[in-house]
Amino acid sequence: MNVVVLVKQVPDTATRIKIAAGGAEIDRQGVNFVVNPYDEFAIEEAIRIKEQHGGQVTVLTVGDAKAEEALRTALAMGADEAVRVDAQVQDPMTTARAIAFALRDLSPDLVLAGKQAVDDDQGQVGPLVAALLDWPQVTVVTKLELTGEGGVAEREVEGGIEVVEFSLPAVITAQKGLNEPRYASLPGIMKAKRKEIRQISADASVTGEPAVRTRSLALPSARSAGKILTGMDAPAAAAELVRLLHEEAKLI
């Protein structure tokens, strides 16, 4: 079973984001980048599939040379091969076209992706890749079992679980709960440092025009300062708290 995992490098969610000059993208200066957390579930699942069924795990990212750090993290966890698609992407469609282009060459049995990237939160890349390749797709998956020619997946739906069957090749997007991602071992980290990363170029004739363009980004408005009640005993503080919740916050 040859599995390709789509991995995106995203800003650590604890990072304080600044907007770059031009107003349509973030300032990457000083930002700590990590593997998209949902992609960690996808990487772990791919490694477990290899351990159970044999085959190999290839991790793939679209991005510049810095994005290779995310590939090395995945290699250190246990992926076998890594591919960076060198392309200028601007939206989910251009990203998906670059990925579909590389996948035609890699011809995997299964593609695993995160259900969404925690920076842009579009949740579109996995489904778009499946649509471009005309493959079945199952999204928001919390349990996955492969059965030779296909598989069975459980997906979270409002108030319950949906069980679906699919044939291979297919695209599956991972939800939290699918597994518990392993930590990279020290030998794994050392091995990953030396591993060659294959490059595939996808120029504008592959990625085409973006379907949507980001016009501007804005930070949330600043929160008003909190209030600390001091200098009163507990009953008086409770009474004042109720008054504030009622009259100022209008919550009760």
Nearer to ligand FAD, 95 or 137 (CB): 95
CA distance 171 to 198: 22
Angle at CA of residue 214, ends 209 and 216, nearest 5°: 155
Structure-token pair, residue 196: 């060659």
Backbone φ and ψ of 18, nearest 5°: -120, 150
Distance from chain centroid for Cα 106: 21
Shortest CB 123 distance to ligand FAD, Å:
5
Structure-token pair, residue 137: 């797709």
Nearer to ligand FAD, 29 or 147 (CB): 29
Any idea which residue has 């009760």 for tokens?
A: 252
> Do residues 184 and 193 touch, judged by C-beta distance below 8 A?
no
Q: Which residues contact 169 (CB under 8 A, 6 or more apart)?
A: 107, 108, 109, 110, 111, 133, 135
Nearer to ligand FAD, 15 or 244 (CB): 15
Shortest CB 211 distance to ligand FAD, Å:
10
Shortest CB 143 distance to ligand FAD, Å:
18
Nearer to ligand FAD, 113 or 230 (CB): 113
Shortest CB 45 distance to ligand FAD, Å:
12
Which residue ranges make up the site for ligand FAD (CB under 6 A)? 6-8, 24-25, 36, 38-39, 61-63, 89-92, 95, 113-114, 116-117, 119-126, 214
CA distance 32 to 119: 13
Question: Which residue minimizes CB distance to ligand FAD?
Answer: 114
Shortest CB 148 distance to ligand FAD, Å:
25
Shortest CB 149 distance to ligand FAD, Å:
24
> Do residues 43 and 51 touch, judged by C-beta distance below 8 A?
no
Nearer to ligand FAD, 118 or 244 (CB): 118
Angle at CA of residue 153, ends 147 and 157, nearest 5°: 170
> How far is residue 73 from each of residues 67, 174, 192, measured CA to CA in Å?
10, 18, 8
Nearer to ligand FAD, 46 or 117 (CB): 117
Backbone φ and ψ of 234, nearest 5°: -60, -45
Shortest CB 42 distance to ligand FAD, Å:
6
Nearer to ligand FAD, 195 or 244 (CB): 195
Amino acid at 6: L
